[in-house]
Amino acid sequence: MKFILIILLAGIFSISTFSQTIDKNATKETVALFNNLKELSKNHTLFAHQHATEYGHGWYGDENRSDVKSVCGSHPAMIGIDFGGFSGRSEEAIEREKRKLKKNVVDTYNRGGVTTAAWHFSNPVSAGGFYWKNDVSKPAVKYIIPGGEAHEEYKKILDGIGEWAKSLKGKDGNLSPVIFRPFHEFDGGWFWWGAPHCTKEEFVTLWKFTVSYLRDSLEVHNFLYAFSPDNKFNSEKEYLERYPGDEWVDMVGMDNYGDMGRDRYDLKTASRKLKIVSDYAIKKGKLAAFTETGLESIPDTTWWTETLLKVMKKDNMQLSYVLVWRNDTRSPTHYYAPFPGQVSVPNFLEFYNDPYTLFEKDLDSIYR
């Protein structure tokens, strides 16, 4: 087992000295999470897995279970959830989802782990779900920003997220922080908020309104906000093409499956793009992360150390976490983290034991 000492920044200096969160009223726990992730990223990265404790390969809803824990004895340091079930379905289904995810987040917080939330947001003005479907989907961004005909409906959806966020009280009586990562992979065209379906100005307006409404109008002070395109950029200028500004973003990230074995093994390119993200974060006092990656079915028995670690350890990057995608409960092939007996388990254990990677058992006082 690794023994990692988290530097308790708040205990050495005043929190305000180090806080660069975009919410000046962020909770102490949220500021501490930001500062501790910033410090840890100098030498380590948190391992994250989407939906890790909700379900896994061949199971659903078991208490305190994850496929990662079954393999190495620890949950991931960070658990990915999704706000996709918070709209576009019946009120009863929405309330069930909110209760389920509240328990998930609070349980993770009570154990000392971290939560990040993506948002596969079902199109609020047309059919088609969160994907863009030709002849079905409408370009919803222009409808839900201020002045759009569906703006009030969008505010109601955010009201639901805000109410949920302010209910996340742990056993210590404090609110669990959440890293909120809306409108991800916006540089592609597969989601209705993607670049082909809205102008730069519309996307930036949507981002700013979403953050401002949650933070300033609804007084949600336990969110950090993460900006994460896919891997279509080749320079800092291209990366920042739809960036809303430093005052609107706590974390910069990148999703990249294509260079990591899905389409090709191009480790040099993957590292170069991650370095653009990391360099920007260091320059601007932001957090950086590898916000999504993975190799479906993990047929490459050394992928964890020979691909993922090699990409992340290059060029002294500072990356607060890396998240691999979910393990479907029914599909025999749709999984991104190992489970007992999966062919990459031995290599994953090497990855787990590497001092660079942090799992939930390695975290201590990340909220102080």
Candidate list 29, 97, 202, 292, residue with the active-site label = 292
DSSP string of 23-39? -TT--HHHHHHHHHHHH
Terminal CA-CA length for the chain: 23
- 109, 101 in Cβ contact below 8 A? no
- 10, 368 in Cβ contact below 8 A? yes
Query: Per the structure block, which two tokens stand in for 311?
Result: 């990409």
185 is catalytic: yes
292 is catalytic: yes
The residue written with tokens 């002294």 in the block is 316
No. of helices (H) and no. of strands (E), the chain: 13, 11
Closest by CA position to 57, among listed 346, 354, 332, 351: 332
The two beta strands, 55-56 and 59-60, are antiparallel
Candidate list 54, 185, 202, 360, residue with the active-site label = 185
Residue 129 CA to residue 124 CA, distance in Å, equals: 8
Query: Phi and psi at residue 55, in whole multiples of 5°?
Result: -165, 170
Closest by CA position to 56, among listed 334, 327, 341: 327
The residues that bridge with 49 in the sheet, in sequence order, are 79, 324
Residue 39 CA to residue 53 CA, distance in Å, equals: 26
Residue 223 CA to residue 340 CA, distance in Å, equals: 34
Residue 255: which H helix or E strand, with range?
strand 251-255
- 206, 141 in Cβ contact below 8 A? yes
The residue written with tokens 């210590």 in the block is 172
Residue 358: which H helix or E strand, with range?
strand 357-358
SS3 322: strand
Residue 292: which H helix or E strand, with range?
strand 287-293
Q: Which residues are catalytic?
A: 185, 292
